[in-house]
Amino acid sequence: MRRRGFLKKIPIAATAPVVLNGLPVGLLAQGQLQQVVSSSSNDKVLVLIQLHGGNDGLNAVIPIDQYAQYYNLRPNIAIPDNGSRGYIPLDSTLDIADQVGLHPDMVGTKTLYDQGKAAIVQGVSYENHNGSHFRSRDIMFMGGDFDDYLGSGWMGRYLDYCFPNYPDAYPTSEMPDPLGLEIGTSVSLAFHRDNGIPVAVAANDPEGFFNLINNTGGLPPESVMDTHYGQELQWIMDIEANSNQYADRLKEVFDNGSNTPGVTYPETYPLSAGRLNNPLAPQLKLIARMLSGGSKTRIFLARIGGFDTHGNQVESYDPTLGNHAALLYHISAAVEAFQNDLQGLGLEDRVVTATFSEFGRRAASNASYGTDHGNAAPMFVFGKAVKPGIIGTNPDLQNLAGNNIPMQVDYRQVFTTILHDWMEAPDQAMVQTLFDGFLDQKLDLFGSVVTSTRDEFISKRFKLNSAYPNPVRDRTTLSYYINTAVQVDIELLDTGGRRIRSLVSGHQQVGEHRVSVDLSDLRPGTYIYRIKAGPLDAAKKLIKM
Amino acid sequence: MASLNPVTGTLGTRRSAHILRRSTFGPSKSDISLFAGRTANQAISELFQIPATPAAPADYDTFKSWWIGQMLNSGRSIVEKMVFFYHTHFTTKEEVVQSSQALYHQNELFRYYALGDFKELTKKVCLDNAMMIFLDGRDNDRNNVNENFGRELLELYSIGKGPQIGPGDYTNYTEQDVKEAARVLSGYGNDEDFLTIDPVTGIPTSFVKNDGGTVANAHDAEVKTFSEKFQNTTIQPIELVGEDATVAATLDELDQLIDMIFNQDETARHICRKLYRFFMYYEITPEIEQDIIEPLATTFRNNNYQIQPVLQQLFGSEHFYDADNALAEDDNHAAIIKSPLELILGTLRYFGVTLPTAGTQAFMDAVDNGVLSPMGLQGLYLLEPYEVAGYPAYHQNPDFNRNWISHNHLARRYEYIGRLMTSMDDFGFQLDAVAWVESNISDPSNAQVIVQEMVDELLPEIITSARFDYFLNDILLDGLSMGNWTTEWFAYQGSNDDSAVRTQLEALFNALMQSPEYQLH
């Protein structure tokens, strides 16, 4: 599209009005320039994953305290409460009223939770929920009430505040990248501003995009008419100019970037039934690579479809298998790999990932092994900065609203919290984003001293207690607590780290465990006993008399 | 004010090209000159002649390329454009339906009613086998009502959703109405053998699940009570056997439901807005609503939901040709961004690019590689819209057909034009720029004439003289003189070596069509 090298990079400090090839270049007012610098000075990144079609939250996050009611509402699709494909109890340290089970294919989510890198927000929706996919999705993208009709989206308005005069004034050395990047080939309403082209670029293949842009197009016209035709023409010309501006950069960042060696992203659902290929993993893998390549893009939007499970949500012969199971696996496994990748790349401190869906599904199932459109559903928020835990409580399945799960949290409370507490958006940005009304209803999603919060969280759920008695004459009792059913290995080591013997080895259930071990044959001296169990890797000293 | 007053006089080139671009899959050069000498009414009467019903594809699995073939060869008829319109309106996804035969019969239904009774079509779509699968109608029974189709019938296909004005209240209907409609629609099954034939259309349809006789044993026979949006209408079986409705009574309930929906004034308005956005422009101002949509809706209702009078009134109006006022700012000429389908077929049809013989394997490969696959790259996967509402260009506020233009899709549109001139190996057809100029431009030895005649018809709007100079001097002449072109052309004529003129003509074709202007019509 730039065979003739049209539209050169625009100098940010231009001193006179400029028109380049008919495209008027807006000048940055003094204050705006400062605003750019101040509001984009941090490098926090938000990755949003849209679950398109309406995710059945109730089969993803199962209320353990109301299992019987849960089962009765949806006997043909209910996830069992026991067996190898029973739900995964998430956290037995919580109040029983808050305890949930995850779908058996959400092992990755459980792992991240145990590492203190995942939070669940229960019952997310908005007042007067709309049963339409399209309207509901639009509302969540635009960031409005049920009766708002905005032509712009909340991400668009937020980024428009941070980076005024887009697209004319960009790229700059401070912001060389697209403000938002949607993985795909088109841009959602979420990234639309009040006027002009959206703030995001859509790409799923930076290299192909670069080649494509460099081998197509001619010179655009230098002026447009003041008609509807002219307005459409201007739109196309702006997109074309924007493509030219960002194609090089996207490729450069992609080429500079890489993924963590040894981190494998999941490709397929290992259990044969359902939607086999993981459509999310390559998107997250690309995002990690772009970030490692130096991308300063602030918001990424990835998408996974197939959640509109009116029929065949589960296999008729096994409610733990089928389309929805595969989708939940795809998300959990892809996000886990993404998080490991970010950790390997040293980027874990910069990125928070959140899922959202236009609505949850009906609490009661239908006869087609599926569920119709419902209301509230849980959201998942992942990242090292996230304060782990569950926000909100289990829905009261005996007091549903028209068979629907009622709202506990407005979706804008979640996004407001993320923008304000994570992205560090100033209050004025929240005004322009139209979320200022939610500033006093933020959620406790990000602890203030993140590391200690997470360590404390983990040590409450996975801990090795002191052996008793210690010093030991003949026998001592080891005790430990685990929050996940995992392989537990406890070994006795000498002070030089050499392995003396195995004390415990086996797959164990959630809970407090006590094991009495006979050490009567051990020579007197100082020893170490070390436990490895899921995220737990701890050691303590033992004296043999 | 905007006006549907009939336009008068012969069309001339600009208006001829305009009506043909909007109402067909694009004119050829000769189509434009033919209609230029006609009045709007004469043009319309030809556009609305109903061609012979095409023979079914020999193998249903070739349905998609067969359908593209119908569009490519639809000449100066609006019928195939309407078939596509109905597909954008009553959308289905092949991925879900997974039956080429069911999709073909749905397409046949759209063609049967292309210019006819929209209300009847809506009723037949409720019974359509592909739709039964797509929106779970076949799983909707009295013990477990599945609302999927009932919701979309109201939200998308008929009365349309208004602003939400209260809990479960969408101005034109409520959540209660969705549930009650779903109950009316309960108890049907799709016919996988396609042996159930609709007596009116002769096209395979679904059936009422029954006990082997006349008892509809999966249909909800209780009274359905609609909200005040539908004047608290109740719908119930006219005939019961015990506590079950009869098959006839079940079908009668569908009649009652459709009558109830089409008795609301809003239904005609909703459909007329969709037609307006498809054929005219996406933005519906209060003025357009009052001066255009409302009278079109009145025409629609007064003609018992026949679609032809509505379209004819629009295509024959001053408004269609921007002749209703002297303002330029509200002109709609060339203000629609072409869909990938219109871009590709329009290009092939204008240049008369020859594809392999229809029905052959070579034709099917050509359509797959040279039409369907590039359309997908440009953002239109035929029969696989991203969502139930259809392709975003036809419903997604606020951008509507701007949705066709993303960074990727725009580049893919440009790329297609470039490929088209060297695509014989890839596509099985290609555009020969030299041959076309030789037989279609009045004086190919005159560079100015070439550019003028191409610009006039290929680009939808007048261009500036600077833009014209760019196409002529920078591109075609490559900075050299007019006389040089004449010499080059005659050298080609004398030697049959077209390499010099081909390079320059292909550059011109690329510059003209890999342009923002060519994306519009």
Please name the member of B136, B151, B335 whose beta carbon is closest to the beta carbon of A131.
B151
Instruction: Give chain B positions within 8 Å (CB) of A242.
Output: 407
**Residue-wise burial string across B159-179, b where 16 or more C-beta atoms lie within 10 A, e elsewhere:** bbbeebeeebbbebbbbbbbb
Residue A153 distance to chain B (closest CA, Å)? 11
Question: Which chain B residue is nearest to residue A151, measuring alpha carbons?
Answer: B398
When pLDDT is averaged across residues B474-500 and rounded to a whole number, the result is 93
Predicted confidence (pLDDT) at residue A22 exceeds the cutoff of 70? no
Question: Which chain A residue is nearest to residue B149, measuring alpha carbons?
Answer: A310
Q: Which residues contact A488 (CB under 8 A, 6 or more apart)?
A: A480, A482, A504, A505, A506, A507, A508, A513, A531, A532, A533
> What pLDDT digit, counting tens, does each position of A45-94 carry?
999 999 999 999 999 999 999 999 999 999 999 999 999 999 999 999 99
Band (A156; pLDDT cuts 50, 70, 90): very high
Q: ω into residue A167 within 30 of 0, thus cis?
A: yes
When pLDDT is averaged across residues B46-66 and rounded to a whole number, the result is 96
Predicted confidence (pLDDT) at residue A29 exceeds the cutoff of 80? no
The pLDDT of residue B388 is 87
> Which residues 85-124 of B have a C-beta within 8 angstroms of A?
none
Asked whether the beta carbons of A287 and A184 are under 8 A apart, the reply is no
Instruction: Give chain B positions within 8 Å (CB) of A222.
Output: 464, 466-467
The ipTM of this complex is: 0.95
State what percent of residues in chain A have pLDDT above 90: 69
* Residue B156 per-residue DSSP state: I
Residue of B325, B407, B413 for testing the chain A interface, max A β-carbons within 10 Å:
B407
Instruction: Give chain A positions within 8 Å (CB) of B329.
Output: 226-228
Residue B134 distance to chain A (closest CA, Å)? 10
The pLDDT of residue A5 is 35
Band (A173; pLDDT cuts 50, 70, 90): confident
Average pLDDT over chain A, rounded to an integer:
88
Band (A25; pLDDT cuts 50, 70, 90): very low
3-state secondary structure B335-401: CCECCHHHHHHHHHHHCCCCCCCCCCHHHHHHHHHHHHHHHHHCCCCCCCCCCCCCCHHHCCCCCHH
Question: In the numeric block, which tokens belong to residue A486?
Answer: 């995992």
The pLDDT of residue A27 is 31
* A229/B168 CB distance under 8 A: no
When pLDDT is averaged across residues A122-132 and rounded to a whole number, the result is 90
Question: In the numeric block, which tokens belong to residue B459?
Answer: 């680009």
Chain A contact for B242 (CB, 8 A cutoff)? no
Cα(A382)–Cα(B418) distance, rounded to whole angstroms? 45
Please name the member of B135, B146, B331 whose beta carbon is closest to the beta carbon of A228.
B331
| Unique residue bearing structure tokens 């197009």 | A217
When pLDDT is averaged across residues B468-497 and rounded to a whole number, the result is 93
Q: What values do phi and psi take at B397, rounded to 5?
A: -65, 150
The pLDDT of residue A453 is 75
Pairing of the two strands A463-464 and A475-482: antiparallel
The pLDDT of residue A168 is 82
Tell me how many degrees the CA angle A109-A114-A115 measures, rounded to the nearest 5: 95
> Which residues 380-409 of B have a C-beta within 8 angstroms of A?
386-389, 392, 395-399, 402-403, 405-409
Instruction: Give me the total of CB pairs closer than 8 Å, taking one residue from chain A and one from chain B.
Output: 183
Cα(A155)–Cα(B378) distance, rounded to whole angstroms? 25
Predicted confidence (pLDDT) at residue A445 exceeds the cutoff of 60? yes
Question: Which chain B residue is nearest to residue A196, measuring alpha carbons?
Answer: B399
Q: Which domains does chain A have, with CATH numbers?
A: 45-455 (3.40.720), 462-544 (2.60.40.2550)
Band (A26; pLDDT cuts 50, 70, 90): very low
Cα(A328)–Cα(A504) distance, rounded to whole angstroms? 33
The upper half-sphere exposure of residue A21, i.e. CA atoms within 13 Å in the direction of its Cβ, equals: 20
**What does R_g of chain B's alpha carbons equal in angstroms?**
25
Predicted confidence (pLDDT) at residue A3 exceeds the cutoff of 60? no
When pLDDT is averaged across residues A352-358 and rounded to a whole number, the result is 96
